[in-house]
Structure 1
């Protein structure tokens, strides 16, 4: 169990049996590097993979214990912070993995994403499919693409990808006016 709605997340060794970021992140980043925010980083499962694409990696999470774990794992390779400490229009990629559905103040989160993201920046979303997978968050909190696009209405889908049989992936870019 953890702080996310009291539901169970599989341990890292089990997670690696079906979740292999090294296999799908190259397609997502397309060889690009930049400033990345791992928003809702949890215990840092994705941070080790994101470092490959990051000129700077910010890790944000409300769970202080999880952040301590991230700090122990990665030391000075990452920057632990809150979104308000990140300068305006300085981020190339905002990354949400299995996290946005848990965030209480989604409106605030989206407004911070819009503030910190460069005009040509991307939002990368990986989340649980809205179907029973036997583990992961309850169906009642899961979000699909349509749910995400209600929150990220100033963005459009640039790419869809399938990270695992249990998850969907989106790359969003700002709508051009």
Structure 2
């Protein structure tokens, strides 16, 4: 079964910034799980309009790389960072399977609702490992593989056990937490 056929449509961006969704996935609390320090470089992979990028940027004085395949999303994010007076975000137009960042360039990586869209999951995980410094952490958010009222169709979703197996096979230690009925998060290092 191939993932990756279902790309998020940038025209649906309002959904990502919808208050109900933010209540269900409170960005501040989620970002807490990454334990970002002032000295951390962070990559937000598949940043979209920056729901998580902005809270991340406020926690570090270093650069936050906001990576997305959609130029439109990055332009929107740029606008939002300017409005928020945030100056340490650098946008990167790039694909998760070939991240346009040097080896070992970041301490933390956030990947929110991106991996189910990726064609080659192993390749994406390898890329994340490549850009991560030793002892770095990765926080992954995904939809649990079940029917829900919203979110991607169930056959596009990524089962938490399946994702965990891929991460472990790639040499990462993982811990899975359910955030609510629909979403889970994986902390890996």
Distance in 1 between residues matched to 2:47 and 2:100, nearest whole Å = 16
Structure with the higher fraction of residues in strand conformation: 1
The Cα RMSD (Å) is: 2.6
Shift of 1:86: 1.7
Alignment of 1:43-82 (within 5 A): 43-54=49-60, 55-75=62-82, 76-81=87-92, 82=94
* Aligned-pair CA distance for 1:114: 1.8
Aligned to 2:109: 94
State the Cα distance separating 1:147 from its structure 2 match: 2.0
Change (3 A) 1:56 1:163: farther
Cα 1:163–1:25 change in 2 (3 A) is farther
Partner of residue 28, structure 2: 22
Cα–Cα, structure 1 residues 4 and 134, in superposed 2: closer, same or farther, change >3 Å? same
Q: Tell me, in whole angstroms, the C-alpha distance in 2 between the residues paired with 1:88 and 1:4.
A: 28
- The number of equivalent residue pairs is 171
1:5 offset after TM fit, Å? 7.5
Give the Å deviation of 1:31.
5.6
- Listed as ranges, the gaps of 5+ residues in structure 1 are none
* Alignment map for 1:95-174 (pairs within 5 Å): 95-152=110-167, 153-173=169-189
Instruction: Specify the SS of the correspondent of 2:172.
Output: strand
Q: What are structure 2's unaligned runs of at least 5 residues?
A: 1-5
Aligned mates of 1:139, 1:94 — CA distance in 2: 25
TM-score, normalising length from structure 1? 0.82
If the length of structure 2 is used for normalisation, what is the TM-score? 0.77
Moved more, 108-117 or 122-131: 108-117
